[in-house]
């Protein structure tokens, strides 16, 4: 089932008086995977839904939710899913997509039936999902991680050597407003998205995975009023459009980034100078 929880974002000035637990209750999501279930959270960040599904010995159907206000879940929404577990498949309106780890599938507005399955329940698939409102249908499509043109950034000297894989974006899988991809850090690198940036045109959600027992600090907030969250494996950080965002771990890791908003231009961002952070 889909959880009924809805995350509402405070104003930037409200962060000043928030406790650690209040920050975590607002900007942090944990436990998105459990055997045989869908866990998802609606947010007021461009109406994005974030969640995960881990099917076991039988497929898990995507149910509707009263929050959509429609007859079925994707009647006026689109959805992206990236597999971070064992091999599995997504079946949408009779079309079957076999996803290995790090493969992505896009399902457009108007998709009526969706199910998720694992090839082997002893090594279950884990589908990380994002969904946002849509106004027109685009072709249903899958992209393997090997098909996503990699972009290499950073350097070992600054501990942020990483590879970006773009899946759903202007130059890849077409969508209405959903943008989605992943970043993999090289061994010895720990900083992501640093130097940092903001983009008032879009909100962003980070899902950190392949951390193992490592711990990660996710930084957010306004430039002169920063805050942080300590995250563990397979946990989510929400970044409102007014917030800068970056992270640093005790070792390398991967994270999936997803956005929705006014445009889909990947490099539409306002750079933040590290010396301006407080």
- The per-residue pLDDT for range 82-124, each reduced to its tens digit, is 999 999 999 999 999 999 999 999 999 999 999 999 999 999 9
- The per-residue pLDDT for range 212-225, each reduced to its tens digit, is 999 999 999 998 89
- pLDDT for 2: 63
Q: Where are the domains of the chain?
A: 6-276
- Check if the beta carbon of residue 148 is closer than 8 Å to that of residue 169: no
* CATH entry, 6-276, from 3.40.50.300, 3.10.350.10, 3.60.15.30, 2.60.120.10: 2.60.120.10
Q: Would strands 6-7 and 38-43 be described as parallel, antiparallel, or unpaired?
A: parallel
Structure tokens at 165: 């894989």
Q: How far is CA 60 from CA 47, 93, 118, 125, 226, in A?
A: 23, 14, 9, 11, 39
By three-state DSSP, how is residue 84 classified?
coil
Average pLDDT over residues 43-67: 95
Average pLDDT over residues 235-264: 91
Type and span of the H or E element at 229? strand 225-231
Average pLDDT, the chain: 92
Distance CA 39, CA 33 (A): 7
By three-state DSSP, how is residue 16 classified?
helix
The pTM score is 0.94
DSSP code for 173: B
Q: How far is CA 246 from CA 6, 138, 184, 228, in A?
A: 24, 31, 14, 10
């Amino acid at each position: 089932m889909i959880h009924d929880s809805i995350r509402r974002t405070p104003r930037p000035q409200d962060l000043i008086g928030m406790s650690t637990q209040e920050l975590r209750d607002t900007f942090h999501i944990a436990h998105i995977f459990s055997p045989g279930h869908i866990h998802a959270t609606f947010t007021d960040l461009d109406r994005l839904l974030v969640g995960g599904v881990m099917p076991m010995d039988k497929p898990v159907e995507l149910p509707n939710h009263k929050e959509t206000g429609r007859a079925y879940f994707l009647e006026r929404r689109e959805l992206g899913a990236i597999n971070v577990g064992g091999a599995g498949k997504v079946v949408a309106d009779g079309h079957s997509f076999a996803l290995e780890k790090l493969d992505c599938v896009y399902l457009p507005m108007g998709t009526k039936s969706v199910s998720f399955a694992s090839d082997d329940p002893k090594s279950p698939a884990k589908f990380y999902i994002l969904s946002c409102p849509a106004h027109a249908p685009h072709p249903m499509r899958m992209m393997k991680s090997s098909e996503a043109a990699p972009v290499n950034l950073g350097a070992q000297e600054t501990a942020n050597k990483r590879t970006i894989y773009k899946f759903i974006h202007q130059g890849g899988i077409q969508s209405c407003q959903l943008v989605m991809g992943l970043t993999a850090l090289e061994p010895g690198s720990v900083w992501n998205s640093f130097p940092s940036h903001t983009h008032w045109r879009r909100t962003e959600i980070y899902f950190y995975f392949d951390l193992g027992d490592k711990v990660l600090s996710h930084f957010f907030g306004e430039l002169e009023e920063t805050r942080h969250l300590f995250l563990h494996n397979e946990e989510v950080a929400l970044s409102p459009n007014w917030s800068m965002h970056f992270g640093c771990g005790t070792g390398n890791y991967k994270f999936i980034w997803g956005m929705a908003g006014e445009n889909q231009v990947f490099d539409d961002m306002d750079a933040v100078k590290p010396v301006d952070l407080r």
